[in-house]
A = this chain, B = another copy of it.
């Protein structure tokens, strides 16, 4: 479950932003994405809804959403451009299938609890975290680089 298109629009309006056609297009793309797209992909999809939209506009819109806290930036792959995901209502972490690039969401409460514990052990309060598991399918017996 992720934030709806309406809640993203609300967020923009509350921040005093105008709901232009291009902004609507980007928000729609983001709200419907199930695959953690990068800017290039978001741009391509937004172009289908709003032909002629500029890439700079997409960058600006995405960055604003991130600042507003409605969008999360991920760095799943070193050296590649960041991926984006509308902040989910219920938290989850990610599993990256290195064979296909597919990204799977999961949540393991036991891990979440342990993270809080570790932070406390060092005298801190856990504010946020990133956990990404890089995996390969079990049936294949791929390399062990």
Give the interface of A toward B (CB within 8 A): 69, 73, 75, 78-79, 82, 95, 97-98, 104, 106, 108, 110-111, 114-115, 118-120, 122-138, 141-142, 144-145
Q: Is the CB of B111 within 8 A of A125?
A: no
A-B pairs with lowest CB-CB distance, top 7:
A124-B135, A123-B142, A128-B134, A75-B75, A130-B132, A73-B78, A119-B135
- Inter-chain CA distance A120–B95, complex, in Å, is 11
Residue among A78, A104, A124 facing the most chain B CB atoms (10 A cut-off):
A124
Residues on B with C-beta less than 8 A from A119 are 95, 133, 135
Please state the number of chain copies in the assembly.
2
Partner of A129, one of B120, B122, B132, B141: B132
Which listed residue (B122, B129, B130, B135) contacts A144, Cβ 8 A?
B122
Which residue in B82, B95, B126 is a CB contact (below 8 Å) of A78? B82
CA distance in complex: A127, B106 (Å): 17
Which residues of the partner chain B approach A75 to less than 8 Å between Cβ atoms? Answer: 75, 78
Q: Is the CB of A115 within 8 A of B133?
A: yes
Contacts of A108 in B (CB 8 A): 114, 118
Whether the Cβ atoms of A133 and B123 lie closer than 8 Å is no
